Amino acid sequence: MIYFYNTLTKRKQVFKSIKDKQVGLYTCGPTVYSTAHIGNLRTYIFGDILKRVLLYQGYKVKHVMNITDVGHLTSDADTGEDKVEKAAKKSKKSAFEIAEFYTKSFFTDCKKLNILAPDIIAKATDHIKEDIELIKSLEKNNFTYQTSDGIYFDTSKLKDYGKLTGMNFKKLNKTLKAGARIELSPEKKNITDFSLWKFSPKNSKRQMEWESPWGRGFPGWHIECSVINLKYLGKAFKGKRFLPKKAQTIDIHTGGTDLIPIHHTNEIAQVEAITNKRFVNFWLHGEFLILKDARMGKSESNAILIKNIEESGFSPLSFRYLVLNSHYRTSLEFSQKALENAQESLNNIHNFILDCLIDNKKIQKKKTSTFSLNEIKKEFEKSINDDLNTPRALAAFWKLIKDYYQIRNNPKKVYEIALSFDKVLGLGLDKIKLVIPPKKIKELAKKREQLRKMRKWAEADKIRKIIEKSGFLLEDTKKGTIIKPKL
Ligand SMILES: [Zn+2]
């Protein structure tokens, strides 16, 4: 049994998919106006772990992600500029070029972090017609009203608006009013109301704009996610035609905790107002990454990118390890020291895999195991099934490593178990191969040994450096020097 903490019910629940052994999974994708920072990427690593746990447990997963290339404004209050258009103006590129550039950069970073690619990647700009269909449906059912700048959703008309926040309509309105982030524009009826369609400004032309029954403009940010969910997982569209009665509930929807009060709350409202059916069964949310008492944000110009991590000599997977080492529902404090420790742990794991491979070549006879591999496996699986408890799963992995080094038997089996764990952890252990050093390297290593015996340290060190440059490392042990491929 797998347990997930469901934001909707505020408790851990046994996960049950709607269809047997099949899961529809939706992840809110990036707004592609700048490079995703490691705080954003932490959320995607969490989503990746979730997907990998489901796959590990034998589910067939259909994973859908949107790309927000239009409609995400600089303010949550439906005012301000479109983030992508703003970035385009600044860099003198087209909005479409900006979106394409940052979409590519996002998936390049995801690949470096070993995040599995979604099965369907859907751009907001490819779904404008479907957006209009859904808005028309909301209009027909009296959930909308028009202001001078767009079409809005009247949140007071939906009985359980805001349920994801755990607050009722009145309390949510009061809370949002108290927060400085949202201002009530004079034409909005309730502070929680949000735009479905925004009109293009009268005196300037947008790069991304479309005709609609209400006038030229662009969709609101929330509508794209509702539509893409309904289309690819909820099966409520036939081509571009909207068939709300056919809508099916979706298994899991994920994102960062910052999306709960507005974006996800509004996604639910738009769908449930029309379908009268539960939109999503399980809502899972990842916590923030923190830099010395401050949440990392682009506006605070303290964003750290994967590029920066690489430039400092760390591997992107060391960041993944760091993320795995804290639970997704607790905030993670990022520091150089924490990353250094993560890199060291990752190197040790890589070395352990190499040792298993080397031992497997050397040890011909299998000794019976004196430590219980099954128990370690059980502990690992119990941890991942308990609301994705990756720190505990890592602890089980370290127990495997520690026990192995004490006895060093059955390397083949231990290697297989380690790799099966890595199907969830995603630390790239399957890529570690035992490379036999070429003759030249072996000869150099021998020469170095001789020099060391003659206490010619400086010359020996020069040779070590040459060997390292060729992609190998030397490990001096009591039994002699071992040549290992550099990771
Ligand atoms: Zn979304």
Where does 50-98 show beta strands of DSSP type E? Answer: 60-67
Taking the CA atoms of the chain, what radius of gyration do you get in angstroms? 27
Q: Tokens 């029954």 identify what position?
A: 213
Taking the C-alpha atoms of residue 17 and residue 3, their distance in angstroms, rounded to an integer, is: 12
Tens-of-pLDDT digits for all 487 residues of the chain? 999 999 999 999 999 999 999 999 999 999 998 888 999 999 999 999 999 999 999 999 999 999 998 878 777 667 777 887 888 788 888 888 888 999 999 999 999 999 999 999 999 999 999 999 999 999 999 999 999 989 999 999 999 999 999 998 888 888 877 765 555 667 889 989 999 999 988 877 778 889 999 999 999 999 999 999 999 999 999 999 999 999 999 999 999 999 999 999 999 999 999 999 999 999 999 999 988 655 555 555 678 999 999 999 999 999 999 999 999 999 999 999 999 999 999 999 999 999 999 888 876 555 655 568 999 999 999 999 999 999 999 999 999 999 999 888 889 999 999 999 999 999 999 999 888 888 999 999 999 999 999 999 999 999 999 998 888 888 887 777 888 877 6
Q: Which residue among 256, 286, 316 closes a domain? A: 286
Q: Do 280 and 359 lie in a common domain? A: no
N residues, the chain: 487
Residue 74 belongs to a domain: yes
CA of 33 from ligand 1 middle (Å) equals 15
**Helices 336-362 & 411-425, crossing angle to 10 degrees?**
150
Q: Do 413 and 470 lie in a common domain? A: no
CA of 433 from ligand 1 middle (Å) equals 39
Cβ atoms within 10 A of the Cβ of 92, count?
A: 7
Residue 297 belongs to a domain: no
Domain count of the fold of the chain? 3
User: CA angle, corner 446, sides to 442 and 447, nearest 5?
Assistant: 120
Q: Do 381 and 273 lie in a common domain? A: no
Q: Do 255 and 330 lie in a common domain? A: no
CA of 30 from ligand 1 middle (Å) equals 9
Q: What is the DSSP string of 222-264?
A: HHHHHHHHHHHTS--EETTEE-GGG---EEEEEEEGGGIIIII
Q: Which of the 8 DSSP states describes residue 18?
A: S
CA of 225 from ligand 1 middle (Å) equals 5
Taking the C-alpha atoms of residue 64 and residue 224, their distance in angstroms, rounded to an integer, is: 13
Residue 293 belongs to a domain: no
**Helices 373-385 & 411-425, crossing angle to 10 degrees?**
0
CA of 3 from ligand 1 middle (Å) equals 24
CA of 28 from ligand 1 middle (Å) equals 4
CA of 348 from ligand 1 middle (Å) equals 38
| Domain span holding position 352 | 308-430
Taking the C-alpha atoms of residue 453 and residue 393, their distance in angstroms, rounded to an integer, is: 44
- Is residue 247 a contact partner of residue 238, using CB atoms and an 8 Å limit? no
Residue 392 belongs to a domain: yes
Q: What is the CATH number of the domain that holds 231?
A: 3.40.50.620
Q: Do 214 and 356 lie in a common domain? A: no
Diameter of the chain by CA atoms? 90
Cβ atoms within 10 A of the Cβ of 50, count?
A: 26
Q: Do 278 and 356 lie in a common domain? A: no
CA of 327 from ligand 1 middle (Å) equals 22
Q: Do 171 and 111 lie in a common domain? A: yes
Residue closest to 99 by CA, chosen among 73, 74, 124, 65: 124
Q: Do 168 and 269 lie in a common domain? A: yes
CA of 83 from ligand 1 middle (Å) equals 15
Q: Do 39 and 183 lie in a common domain? A: yes
Q: Do 466 and 359 lie in a common domain? A: no
Which residues does 458 contact at the CB level (< 8 Å), separation at least 6? none
Q: Do 87 and 226 lie in a common domain? A: yes
Residue 291 belongs to a domain: no
Structure tokens at 327: 């639970």
